[in-house]
């Protein structure tokens, strides 16, 4: 009988089989394969002469079995059996439906085949969070994020401990409005503004002064505020 039946790694809709031939003469091999959940009499049978075969049109996220017998004339050997499972269907693309300063929502299309749930992973250099979304739902809402920060998002279908290929998206939350702006110093040719330092991610602060004049000094202070000082200005021209 054939031995050492090997399947290709991580099959989804097709699997490649190889096996070791028995000692002695062989005319051909009889292959039977099908879902474990259906009766064996419903399996597909093929006859081939080589020691490899590719099975296609499989259902993602399903359990299969294959039976291989060597034949010489009308005589058949005992069967070499092998079971395998296909991975859940890969997720092709993500859609960004909504984003604000602390949350976003993404959605995706459904797929054929079996899986238990969707796994959503949201990560950047400072945080990683994982959400489990029921298989019946095709949208995820992620909250409690920092404003102005970029997050890498992945979504994959999971069956047991195995996952299909993920789809990825990079999302940047919106910056919040500047808070706590106050005038802390004013003189004939200078003034200073303070505002609260942002909680999220900030590349820079933009302050517009019309007309654009004077010398500007920008520096953080120790009480959680940012301060910007203007000097050499002329109030009569503002």
| pLDDT string in tens for the chain (238-residue length) | 888 999 998 899 999 999 999 988 999 999 999 999 999 889 999 999 999 999 999 999 999 999 999 999 888 889 999 999 999 999 999 999 999 999 999 999 999 999 999 999 999 998 999 999 999 999 999 999 999 999 999 999 999 999 999 999 999 999 888 888 888 888 878 888 888 888 888 888 777 777 776 677 777 667 788 888 878 776 555 4
Task: State the pLDDT at residue 235.
Answer: 59
Task: Count Cβ neighbours within 10 Å for each residue of 115-124 and write b for 16 or more, e otherwise.
Answer: bebbbbbbee
Task: State the pLDDT at residue 198.
Answer: 80
The long-range contacts involving 185-190, CB below 8 angstroms and separated by at least 24 positions, are 185/229, 188/235, 189/231, 189/232, 189/233, 189/234, 189/235, 190/214, 190/229, 190/230, 190/231, 190/232, 190/233
Whole-angstrom distance, CA of residue 107 vs CA of residue 53: 38
Give pTM, 2 decimals.
0.80
C-beta separation of 68 from 29 below 8 A: yes
Task: State the pLDDT at residue 208.
Answer: 77
Q: How many CB atoms lie within 10 A of CB 141?
A: 14
Task: State the pLDDT at residue 234.
Answer: 67
Task: State the pLDDT at residue 238.
Answer: 46
């Amino acid at each position: 009988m054939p031995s050492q039946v090997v399947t290709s790694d991580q099959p989804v809709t097709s699997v490649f089989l190889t096996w070791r031939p028995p000692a002695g003469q062989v005319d051909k091999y009889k292959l039977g394969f099908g879902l474990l959940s259906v009766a064996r009499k419903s399996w597909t049978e093929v006859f081939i002469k080589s020691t490899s075969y590719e099975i296609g049109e499989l259902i993602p996220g399903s359990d299969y079995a294959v039976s291989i017998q060597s034949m010489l004339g009308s005589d058949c050997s005992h069967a070499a059996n092998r079971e395998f499972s296909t991975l859940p269907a890969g997720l092709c693309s993500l859609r960004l439906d909504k984003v604000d300063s602390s949350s976003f929502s993404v959605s995706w299309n459904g797929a054929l085949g079996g899986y238990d749930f969707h796994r959503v992973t949201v990560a950047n250099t400072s945080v990683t969070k994982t959400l489990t979304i029921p298989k019946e739902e095709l949208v995820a809402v992620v909250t409690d994020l920092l404003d102005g920060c970029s997050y890498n998002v992945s979504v994959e279908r999971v069956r047991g401990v195995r996952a299909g290929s993920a789809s990825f998206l990079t999302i940047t939350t919106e910056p919040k409005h500047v808070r706590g702006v106050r005038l802390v110093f004013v003189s004939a040719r200078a003034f200073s503004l303070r505002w609260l330092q942002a909680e999220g991610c900030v590349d820079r602060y933009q302050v517009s002064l019309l007309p654009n004049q004077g010398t500007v000094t920008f520096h953080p202070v120790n009480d959680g505020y940012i301060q910007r000082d203007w000097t050499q200005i002329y109030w009569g021209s503002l």
